[in-house]
Amino acid sequence: MKSDAVKKGPTRCAHRSLFYALGFGPEELEKPLIGICNSFNEVIPGHMHLKEITEAAKLGVAAAGGTPLEFPAIGVCDGIAMGHTGMKFSLASRELIADSIEAVATASGFDGLVLIPNCDKIVPGMLMAAARLNIPSVVVSGGAMLAGRFHGQDVSVSQCFEAAGKFAAGKISADEMAELEAHACPSCGSCAGLFTANTMNSLTEALGMGLPGNGTIPAAYTGARRLLAKRAGAVVMELVRKNICPRDILTREAFENAITTDMGIGGSSNTVLHLTAIAHEAGIEIPAPLFDEISRRTPYITKLSPAGKHHMQDLDEAGGISAVMNELAKKNLLHLDALTVTGKLGDRIKDAKIMRPDVIRSVDDPYRKEGGIAILSGNLCPDYAVVKASAVSEDMLVYEGKAKCYDSETAAIDAIMGGEIHDGDVVVIRYEGPKGGPGMQEMLNPTAAITGAGLKVGLITDGRFSGASQGACIGHISPEAMEGGPIALITDGDVISIDIPNRKLELKISDDELQKRKAAWKKPEPKIKTGYLARYAKLTTSASTGAIVQ
């Protein structure tokens, strides 16, 4: 066993003594040592219940013959971090999570891992660590928040962000906004729609690294979530006995399955960043065009919030991710021989059924014939850009407007709330990429304010968007402004053309004019010059390669 390095032989006398200090006896040191990474904290609603999930996972490990050892991981709540300097740390925290798990697991000599995340960057950070360490691992998440109820309708946190725009436009009162915010987030769990956290928890199933139900069983269904965690503890012991490691599961075929599922459910655009980064840790290259190639052939068969009215609890009732994948398999879109933590994918999903056809449509009657995410190219994004096409209304799929440029998210929000943005504009938010932000902030505040105000505008950025964003919002523009990409060269009044069906994003100026502007451009001073973010800005790569730290 790998853990023999910390417990076997005369030179490990001191090591054993330290384990005894923890309350472990010699008989427990004879068993595999399983690290249980618990990202519980009292800041993230999606994580406030993870102590119970962790205890259940530990029971599962112990019952199956292992010795569980719990250790922590950090987490940032994207909702609370949104719209201020804290959001610069969100994506950057992904690397801290992966690095810290690598450090603890290696230093402790663990034989396997149960990874317990729930929200946004914590899920991909843990999957990156699993791929990097390549010791038997299972991910079991905390589950989705239930939708709230407001005036007879299901709501979630996304309506709260949009309320700011409605309030500024005079569409709701302060009392109505206060009533909404009191009801939108009624339970523990990751925010109720198909936002980044729930997308990544769902794709953990599709990748094969989580058990069925991982992405959709609501957090408030405590019995079901605890049972899932106990089963995950038992499964990791089976993986240890069989020496099945993450890179046996995280193959090219697994990533293609995850991308296909992502397109079918219309997941968050952030998955392009995260799947690329996880694949990198597994030694696999996932080029941006692959996402579009798969999107072109994958029908979009669920329409969850923010694109539609359904939430994760509805998807769970409808049969969950297994039912989605079984439906997509009818078009031969999946690699059914791909290995999962519980065996082959085909065996896992073969009996799954659609229980609510109003939530999961058939592949013969999809919402759209193409998938939820589109990869754009053009003179504004030579290294690609990303849009969540499933959350764009039909009348905005092709759009042309005049640029209004802002060199930070804050400046753009002030302009939107101040009434400077009008129908027909294209809001340009730049110097918010991985290097320029630094940290590639999510732009939910401006997109929600635009939606709430009812404006018909486009928005482009070298930053990124929350999974809760909707509209003609194009992110991940690469190269970013801080690297002198074309987005840095736009001036107010320039015409920008968005053509999502034909995958084009163009700045309507001549090549000569673009080159003149490029020659005159000067790189600005970094926004942050000290601390972790300054180091991150120096080490991170482009969004087009996953914004990984090298």
HSE-up (13 A, CA, CB side) for residue 125? 28
Q: How far apart are CA 492 and CA 414, in angstroms?
A: 17
What CA–CA distance (Å, rounded) separates 393 from 368? 12
466 is catalytic: yes
- What distance in Å separates the CA atoms of residue 463 and residue 119, rounded to the nearest whole number? 19
How many CA atoms lie within 13 Å of 37's alpha carbon, on the beta-carbon side?
Answer: 33
Residue 488's CB is within 10 A of a number of other CB atoms, namely 26
By CB neighbour count within 10 A (0-12 exposed, 13-18 middle, 19+ buried), where does 379 fall?
middle
Q: Write out 358-373 in H/E/C secondary structure.
A: CCECCCCCCCECCCCC
What b/e sequence results for 99-130 when a residue is b if at least 16 CB atoms lie within 10 Å of its CB, and e otherwise?
ebbbebbeebbbbbbbbbbbbbbbbbbbbbbb
Which among 305, 466, 478, 542 is annotated as catalytic?
Answer: 466
Helical pair 531-539 and 88-108, crossing angle rounded to 10 deg:
90
Which residues fall within 8 angstroms of residue 232, CB to CB, at 6 or more apart? 57, 60, 114, 138, 139, 140, 210, 211
Q: How many angstroms separate the Cα of 462 from the Cα of each of 409, 517, 530?
A: 11, 18, 22
CA distance 229 to 306: 28
Q: Which of 119, 133, 47 is nearest to 274 (CA)?
A: 119
**Greatest CA separation found in the chain?**
75
Return the amino acid letter for 186. P
Measured between alpha carbons, how far is 498 from 476 in angstroms, rounded to an integer?
A: 15
Side-chain half-sphere CA neighbours of 375 within 13 A: 21
Q: Nearest Cα to 297, choosing from 333, 327, 272?
A: 333
**What Rg, from alpha-carbon coordinates, does the chain have?**
23
Tokens coding 546: 């996953």
The token pair at 448 is: 């929600």
Catalytic positions: 466
